[in-house]
Copies of this chain bind each other. A is one copy, B any other.
């Protein structure tokens, strides 16, 4: 990979060759992939890019840590739609607002970007099996992307994993091991099994290539905006990998001159589980928290990628905002009725944060904001039902319909 220099520990600075099965630094720190931006800039221009007809994350190959001859995995990941939301912006009192619906990826979450990258790197490593431990979208995206590529997957889930997500794993033909114990127990068994069999490791915050896949959400967002940088980009934060990837993509684009400034990040967490936001707000190291939120994908009390996430938020002079479950549920309805976008609770938390910052006066009519919806509402139907209320129930009788409407003050046009 002539455009990649090396991997570098974000904690101690030690450098490693960027081999396909690179994991953490000996010091325990996360590795960041370092690019040769001069080399990239000399052969990758906006014009080169705009002529491409590959509308997937692989259109940004010059900025991705793969060999020139590495095949893109089969599922069409990325190039999710970006919608401008003028009615919602007006309702919130914002200057302009865009919503990127990343729930329209093949397995219905942003995690497909990381898993597609894992599949590409596993192939480079000559691996035939990929493994990870996860309770949700990381697992299902790995199972789907690997199945399409003809690779086997071994997935370790804690016994409490939602049945729906387990069903997705089983449909993709993964070997699923449900561990009777906590998430830590699950992770530990996956670690031992990966060591034992030498499987390719797609555990987040261990494999440094995953956030390089995730960063494509930022590359797309900026290309779809015509390289006009919004003032803010809002996203939900759990273990920290996604916001770190988002920031990496923005910095890449800035380094090669595709954008002339950097936006400020908005880190949205659940109030019941906000170790990263608390560390920022109180300007001190992060500490574990309980996991009290219905937004399961970001219920991460011990964030595994806090270092990169904290760096990203601080470097961007970012804002942090914590949301109650009620505020998250309200955002689900808000996005649905104003934009036709149905996100899972963690998926809409970024937008919930934007709405709250508008109410607080921290954002207003002078600001432009892009918000990323990270997962589809169909991933978690039970909470959607709780959030969105019940229909009008009547017999098939026109008089009863008229009465029901009158009772509710409904006046159809």
A contact residues vs B (CB 8 Å cutoff):
55, 74-76, 81, 83, 87, 101, 104, 106-108, 128-129, 143-150, 152, 154, 157, 159, 163-164, 166-173, 175-181, 185-186, 188-189, 192-193, 196-197, 199, 332-333, 336-342, 376-379, 381, 384-385, 387-398, 401, 404, 410, 412-413
A76→B87 contact, CB < 8 A: no
Query: Do A170 and B389 form a contact, CB below 8 Å, given A129-B413, A148-B340?
Result: yes
| Stoichiometry (number of copies) | 2
Closest-by-CB residue of B relative to A112 is B340
A178→B393 contact, CB < 8 A: yes
B393→A159 contact, CB < 8 A: yes
Contacts of A387 in B (CB 8 A): 171
Query: Do A173 and B336 form a contact, CB below 8 Å, given A385-B163, A398-B189, A412-B199?
Result: yes
Query: Do A145 and B340 form a contact, CB below 8 Å, given A378-B108, A388-B170?
Result: yes
Contacts of A76 in B (CB 8 A): 81, 83, 104
A173→B393 contact, CB < 8 A: no
Query: Do A197 and B413 form a contact, CB below 8 Å, given A55-B55, A378-B376, A396-B186?
Result: yes
A185 to B393, CA, bound (A): 13
Distance between A340 CB and nearest chain B CB, rounded to angstroms: 3
A196 to B157, CA, bound (A): 54
Query: Do A381 and B164 form a contact, CB below 8 Å, given A342-B171, A398-B196?
Result: yes
B163, B168, B333: the one within 8 Å of A171 (CB): B333
Contacts of A397 in B (CB 8 A): 189
Closest-by-CB residue of B relative to A400 is B189
A19 to B387, CA, bound (A): 40
A172 to B341, CA, bound (A): 8
Contacts of A180 in B (CB 8 A): 393-396
A337→B385 contact, CB < 8 A: no
Contacts of A196 in B (CB 8 A): 398
Query: Do A175 and B392 form a contact, CB below 8 Å, given A167-B385, A413-B129?
Result: yes
B413→A171 contact, CB < 8 A: no
Distance between A407 CB and nearest chain B CB, rounded to angstroms: 13
Contacts of A104 in B (CB 8 A): 76, 104, 106
B144, B154, B197, B391: the one within 8 Å of A177 (CB): B391
Distance between A32 CB and nearest chain B CB, rounded to angstroms: 29
B150, B338, B401: the one within 8 Å of A189 (CB): B401
18 A-B residue pairs with CB within 8 Å: A107-B342, A148-B340, A149-B340, A164-B384, A167-B385, A168-B377, A171-B332, A173-B333, A175-B410, A177-B391, A178-B392, A179-B396, A181-B395, A181-B396, A189-B397, A193-B398, A197-B413, A199-B412
